[in-house]
Amino acid sequence: MNAILSARPAASLPQELKDDIDLRPLTGHIGAEIHGLDLRRALGAPTVAAIRAALRQWKVVFFRDQVLTHAEHVAFARQFGEPTIGHPVYGYVEGHPQVYSVGRNRFQSRHEGEQLIRPWTGWHTDVTAAVNPPAASILRGVVIPPYGGDTQWTNLVQAYSGLSPTLRAFVDGLRGIHRFAPPEGQNATDEFLRKNRSRPLVSEHPLVRVHPESGERALYVSPLFLQTVTGLTPRESRQLLELLFEHVVRPEYTVRFRWQEGSLAFWDNNSTAHLAPRDIYDLEFDRQLYRVTLKGEIPFGVDGTRSTAIEGEPLEAYE
Ligand code: SIN
């Protein structure tokens, strides 16, 4: 079982956990800031439980004024689960195999020349092309532009609840193919990365994922990676996905976070998707963040059937 989110589901935070953290919700459905902690220090068990419960309820939690080293970032993450390799294709920060560098220009070329930018273009849940996508991600801001560069998250449980019962019943039984093709010309000294960069990563997941800890149903559609719905014609698949992608990014399910140096965002990857900013490519400011992801389990759908790997290896914990 996944170590992250191992506390009981919390419709709202129990009083004894509330006493442990200063929690400030940001919207009706997603996102809360947590104040009053120093994440450089080991957290006590009650505080870890309170953060887990807050994450369960709010899906993404934010901390301010936490200037961490890479080692402190990884140590914070370890209190909630097992870190994976920084990124299974793009790699990691030299000397810190669990830390992935989220630099300003990492995806610029992917955005250039894109034919059609839709409201959901770029939204994704981390590494859903793997059969066991990360359970959670922890992103820390180091160099932040004076304006621009915000990140957005959406609550996929709330999005599922927002569908009609008829459409929910239809998508409950569907599965889809998530695919990530490594960019050309990548090489690596690391054996694991070399293997991953030589072929696409492809998995089939349920469109509705049952949360491994809370049992909540999430509309598990990751617009960047989900390519087709199994068993539908290409036209049916495209049109259904457009409907679902448009639905999951509706503003009422989302939160938008303004970074500061020392901000840290911790999100449940089982029940959210997020959007990295594009406006930074029109600005000249630098932006540098670092991410640690926690190992996840193989998703299962409403009927209990697990996801299947089509190409590529599962993500492993990285000691
Ligand atoms: C990510 O997609 O994990 C990074 C988001 C960001 O750059 O804001």
pLDDT tens per residue, range 245-301: 999 999 999 999 999 999 999 999 999 999 999 899 889 999 999 999 999 999 999
How many degrees, rounded to 5, is the angle at CA 216 between CA 211 and CA 218? 75
pTM: 0.91
Tokens for 145? 């532009």
Question: Which of 122, 86, 113, 150 shows the shortest CA–CA distance to 285?
Answer: 150
Residue 4's pLDDT is: 42
pLDDT above 50 (res 11): no
Residue 192's pLDDT is: 65
Ligand 1: nearest atom to the Cα of 151: 8
**Bigger pLDDT: 196 or 125?**
125
Cβ of 276 closer than 6 Å to ligand 1, yes or no, is yes
From residue 317, how far is each of 85, 134, 188, 243 by CA, in Å?
7, 10, 19, 35
pLDDT above 80 (res 6): no
CA dihedral 127, 131, 137, 143 (to 10 degrees): -20
Residue 195's pLDDT is: 66
- 153 within 8 A of 32, measured Cβ to Cβ: no
The ranges assigned to domains in the chain are 15-311
Residue 252 dihedral angles phi and psi, to the nearest 5°: -70, -15
CB burial of residue 1 (10 Å; 0-12, 13-18, 19+): exposed
* Averaged pLDDT for residues 192-200: 70
pLDDT band at 9 (very low <50, low <70, confident <90, very high): very low
Average pLDDT score over the chain: 90
Cβ of 139 closer than 6 Å to ligand 1, yes or no, is yes
Find the 164 Cα to ligand 1 centroid distance in Å.
Answer: 31
pLDDT band at 118 (very low <50, low <70, confident <90, very high): confident
Cβ of 102 closer than 6 Å to ligand 1, yes or no, is yes
Catalytic residues: 124, 126, 274, 291
pLDDT band at 199 (very low <50, low <70, confident <90, very high): confident
Ligand 1: nearest atom to the Cα of 124: 2
**Bigger pLDDT: 139 or 194?**
139
Find the 116 Cα to ligand 1 centroid distance in Å.
Answer: 21
- Is CATH 3.60.130.10 correct for 15-311? yes
Residue 189's pLDDT is: 60
Find the 103 Cα to ligand 1 centroid distance in Å.
Answer: 9
pLDDT above 50 (res 206): yes
pLDDT band at 109 (very low <50, low <70, confident <90, very high): low
Residue 10's pLDDT is: 40
**Bigger pLDDT: 200 or 302?**
302
Cβ of 89 closer than 6 Å to ligand 1, yes or no, is no
pLDDT band at 18 (very low <50, low <70, confident <90, very high): low
Find the 280 Cα to ligand 1 centroid distance in Å.
Answer: 12
Cβ of 43 closer than 6 Å to ligand 1, yes or no, is no
Residue 181's pLDDT is: 84
Residue 2's pLDDT is: 44
Question: Which of 41, 36, 65 shows the shortest CA–CA distance to 144?
Answer: 65
The pLDDT tens digits of the residues spanning 156-190 come to: 999 999 999 999 999 999 999 999 987 666 566 66
